[in-house]
């Protein structure tokens, strides 16, 4: 098994036996980079978890150089990521927890819908696709409204420490301040941490998301 921490399989197995199973608990694991042959150990009939989140789309086109070098995911790539994950777990009957975004990701409608096509129809299409996948759909706050990415005009407006780091990485690579900020605007975790748009009466910790897609 190719785990990042030695002995993690034994630890997760003991946790499942002693904590989850006695209470018939449903669990969803936040797990990355599991080898195909190891998947049944995580979410099979006797897996460590009942299900696990599918991050296949979120890591697509990731670059070791940084956010500034990450290419937009195309519709065909998004489809291929979904189908790849589905095929892997279908072989042994596992169920994935399907997500479009979470608290550590930019807004899915801004990330996965092609630029210029982020319309109400496009948002409904992305949400409908997620619900049609085999597995368990998870909705993150704001998705039901189709909330979009937050646009900031300065790095001083950014709370996310990883976004601040990536901004500096882009500058060190020779990008302009605006180009570095463009990468932050696309991938910052602040995008998914803006306040839920109940109304405009409160003063939020972060500014509200922009009305248009990035």
Rounded CA Rg of the chain: 19
Domain locations in the chain?
54-149
Report the pLDDT value the prediction gives residue 4, as an integer from 0 to 100. Answer: 65
In contact, 180 and 68? CB cutoff 8 Å: yes
Q: Which residues of the chain have pLDDT under 70?
A: 1-4, 200, 202, 208, 210-214
Report the pLDDT value the prediction gives residue 7, as an integer from 0 to 100. Answer: 84
- What six digits make up the tokens of 37? 């042959």
Residue written as token pair 């409608």? 109
Q: Tally DSSP H helices, then E strands, for the chain.
A: 7, 4
Q: Is 35 buried (19+), middle (13-18) or exposed (0-12) by CB count in 10 A?
A: exposed
Report the pLDDT value the prediction gives residue 200, as an integer from 0 to 100. Answer: 66
């Amino acid at each position: 098994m190719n785990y990042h921490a030695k002995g993690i399989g034994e630890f997760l197995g003991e946790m499942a036996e002693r904590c989850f199973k006695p209470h018939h608990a449903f669990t969803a694991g936040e797990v990355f980079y599991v080898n195909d042959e190891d998947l049944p150990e995580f979410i099979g009939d006797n897996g460590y978890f009942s299900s696990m989140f599918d991050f296949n789309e979120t890591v697509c086109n990731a670059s070791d150089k940084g956010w500034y070098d990450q290419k937009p995911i195309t519709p065909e790539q998004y489809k291929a990521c979904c189908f790849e994950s589905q095929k892997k777990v279908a072989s042994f009957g596992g169920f994935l927890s399907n997500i479009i975004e979470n608290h550590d990701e930019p807004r899915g409608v801004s990330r996965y819908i092609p630029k210029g096509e982020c319309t109400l129809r496009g948002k409904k299409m992305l949400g409908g696709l997620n619900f049609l996948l085999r597995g368990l759909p998870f909705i993150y706050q704001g998705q039901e409204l189709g909330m979009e990415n937050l646009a900031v005009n300065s790095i001083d407006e950014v709370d996310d420490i990883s976004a601040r780091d990536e901004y500096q990485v882009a500058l060190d690579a020779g990008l302009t301040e605006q180009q570095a900020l463009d990468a932050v605007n696309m991938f910052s975790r602040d995008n998914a941490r803006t306040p839920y748009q109940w109304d405009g009466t409160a003063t939020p910790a972060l500014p509200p998301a922009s009305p248009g897609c990035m």
